[in-house]
Amino acid sequence: MLRTILISLSAVSISPSIQIDQAGDGWHLKADSALQLIKSTDNKKWNLVDSTCDHISFWKSDFSSCDVDESGRSTIYISDHDVKLNSINNLSVVIVHESLHLWLRKKGISLDPKKEEELCYKYELEFIKKLPNVEPWLYSHSIEQIKKNEK
Ligand SMILES: [Zn+2]
């Protein structure tokens, strides 16, 4: 599943509940800012992130992803592509989106892949609507993905 090379394996602990790997040029600080933004924007979605995600890492890919290992430890993998878009709003949306995938996986809920994506994009859209000063492309990307997956 995780074929892409991990960018960094050295870990630092910034957030008390979620471990963030150190990578790139202060990428862990960006991920931490994204977590803080989720916390200050939407309490319910923050609680889901906080309770389902143990670890945030980075990988070289066009898309972000997540995984739960054999020990039950869950990781959100933020793609270098998402980091390079240079938007904390985008990183927070990615984390919110992936946290719902993780929650479903941890609950053992198996959905049709397109149905699951539709659900996760609708979930992130709820969050996007609450973000102050959100980039229009974030909003349109989410709506596009919902339409693509509900077909
Ligand atoms: Zn997804």
Domain hosting residue 114, numbered range: 17-149
Q: For residue 22, is it within any domain? A: yes
CA of 147 to the centre of ligand 1 (A): 14
The answer as to whether 7 is a domain residue is no
Residue 85 burial (C-beta neighbours within 10 Å; 0-12, 13-18, 19+): middle
Does the residue 4 lie in any domain? no
| Rounded distance between C-alpha atoms, residue 77 and residue 91, angstroms | 11
Cα distance between residue 35 and residue 15, in whole Å: 8
Residue at 98 is within a domain: yes
Q: Which of 61, 53, 56 is nearest to 82 (CA)?
A: 61
Ligand 1 center from residue 124 Cα (angstroms): 10
The pLDDT assigned to 126 comes to 98
Distance 64 CA to ligand 1 centre (A): 8
Mean per-residue pLDDT of the chain: 91
- Say if 8 falls within a structural domain: no
Q: How confident is the model at residue 13 (pLDDT cuts 50, 70, 90)?
A: very low
The pLDDT tens digits of the residues spanning 88-100 come to 999 999 999 999 9
Q: How many Å lie between the centroid of ligand 1 and the Cα of residue 103?
A: 12
Q: What is the pLDDT of residue 40?
A: 94
Structural domain contains residue 128: yes
Note the pLDDT tens digit of each residue in 18-50. Answer: 999 999 889 999 999 999 999 999 999 999 999
CA 99 / ligand 1 centre spacing (Å): 9
Q: Which residues surround ligand 1, an ion (CB under 5 A)?
A: 117, 120
Q: Is 6 inside any structural domain?
A: no
* pLDDT at residue 76 is higher than 80: yes
Answer yes or no: is pLDDT of 140 > 90.
yes
With respect to residue 28, please indicate whether it lies within any of the assigned structural domains.
Answer: yes
Q: What is the pLDDT of residue 56?
A: 97
